[in-house]
């Protein structure tokens, strides 16, 4: 009998860079360290990513390659978050409190207090090497935490 799957939902603005890296990194580590868990990611304001080129950030792909990993779904387009996505997640993480909490308040007013917020800057405020290192560390801590539940 298969173990039921539980999920983490990673949220960022465009579902192009930070949340996609968190999703891919979590899913690369989880099978060996946290069986029964998977990650998905969504955008809170996909429309703000209209200048993004391609379906996933080159920074995300490079960050995965630096860790000897490859994106499972590199051609999946960014996806907008829905109420259903929020309802189906066992844990929700938004990548930056000051950026994403106001979006949640506007679009999903019942949800902001049910989300864990990290403080990972986008490329306009931090170099991708630093941001992806921070996400890696946070994802590893999250896996440890979820394994202790």
pLDDT number for residue 38: 96
pLDDT number for residue 47: 80
Q: How far apart are CA 27 and CA 98, in angstroms?
A: 26
Q: How far apart are CA 37 and CA 110, in angstroms?
A: 25
- How far, in Å, are 20, 22, 58, 89 from residue 123 at the CA level? 14, 15, 12, 27
> What three-state secondary structure class fits 61?
helix
One pLDDT digit (tens) per residue for the chain, 149 residues: 456 699 999 999 999 999 999 999 999 999 999 999 999 999 999 887 666 767 889 999 999 999 999 888 768 899 999 999 999 999 999 999 999 999 999 999 999 999 999 999 988 887 889 999 999 999 999 999 999 76
Beta bridge partners, 12, equal: 43
- Whether residue 111 lies inside any domain: the answer is yes
pLDDT number for residue 139: 98
Instruction: Print the domain residue range for 110.
Output: 6-147
Total number of domains constituting the chain: 1
- Whether residue 140 lies inside any domain: the answer is yes
pLDDT number for residue 54: 78
- Whether residue 36 lies inside any domain: the answer is yes
CATH number at 60 reads 3.40.50.2300
- Whether residue 41 lies inside any domain: the answer is yes
- Whether residue 104 lies inside any domain: the answer is yes
- Whether residue 85 lies inside any domain: the answer is yes
pLDDT number for residue 1: 42
- Whether residue 1 lies inside any domain: the answer is no
């Amino acid at each position: 009998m298969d173990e039921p799957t539980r999920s983490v939902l990673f949220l960022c603005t465009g579902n192009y860079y930070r949340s996609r890296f968190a999703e891919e990194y979590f899913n690369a580590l989880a099978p060996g360290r946290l069986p029964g868990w998977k990650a998905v990611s969504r955008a809170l304001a996909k429309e703000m990513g209209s200048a993004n080129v391609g379906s996933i950030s080159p920074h995300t792909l490079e960050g995965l390659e630096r860790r000897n990993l490859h994106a499972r779904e590199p051609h999946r387009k960014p996806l907008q978050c829905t109420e259903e996505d929020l309802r189906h997640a066992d844990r929700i993480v938004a990548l930056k409190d000051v950026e994403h909490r106001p979006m949640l308040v506007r679009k999903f007013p019942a949800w902001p207090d049910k989300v864990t917020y990290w403080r990972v800057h986008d490329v306009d405020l931090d170099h991708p090497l630093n941001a992806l290192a921070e996400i890696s560390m946070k994802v590893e801590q999250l896996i440890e935490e979820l394994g202790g539940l």
